[in-house]
Amino acid sequence: MRVIIFTLVYLMFFVPAAALAGEAPTLVPYPDDPTDDLTPTLEWEEVSGATNYKIQIDDESSFTSPSENNTSDTSYTPSSDLPAGDVYWKV
C-alpha cells in the first residue's frame, strides 16, 4: 500500500504533465520537401521531460498500418528505404 501511495505522489508532483499527457512535439520541416531521399532524417523539437519518442511512418495519411520506432533522440533516420511517393510521419 505504501508503494502505491508513494508512486501516486511521485507522479503527481515530480513527473512533468507533458510527459504523462504524451504531448506531441513540433516537427521540423524537411528541408528538401519533396525529396527523392528514401531514408531522410526526420527531426522534431524536444518536449520538456520526455525521455522517449515513438515515431510512426505510413504511406497512408490515416496511419492504418504504420511502422513504429522508438528513440530517445530528437531525430530518426529509417534503417531501410521508405516507399516511393507520399509518406506521412508523426511523433
Q: Which domains does the chain have, with CATH numbers?
A: 2-90 (2.60.40)
Residues 56/25, Cβ–Cβ less than 8 Å: no
DSSP state of 91: -
Output the pLDDT for position 11.
Answer: 41
pLDDT tens for the chain, 91 residues long, are 444 444 434 444 444 544 555 788 999 987 877 888 899 999 999 999 999 999 999 999 999 999 999 999 999 999 999 988 889 999 9
One-character DSSP codes across 33-77: SS---SSPPEEEPPPTT---EEEEEESSTT-SS-EEEEESSSEE-
C-alpha cell at 26: 513540433
Output the pLDDT for position 21.
Answer: 52
Output the pLDDT for position 4.
Answer: 46
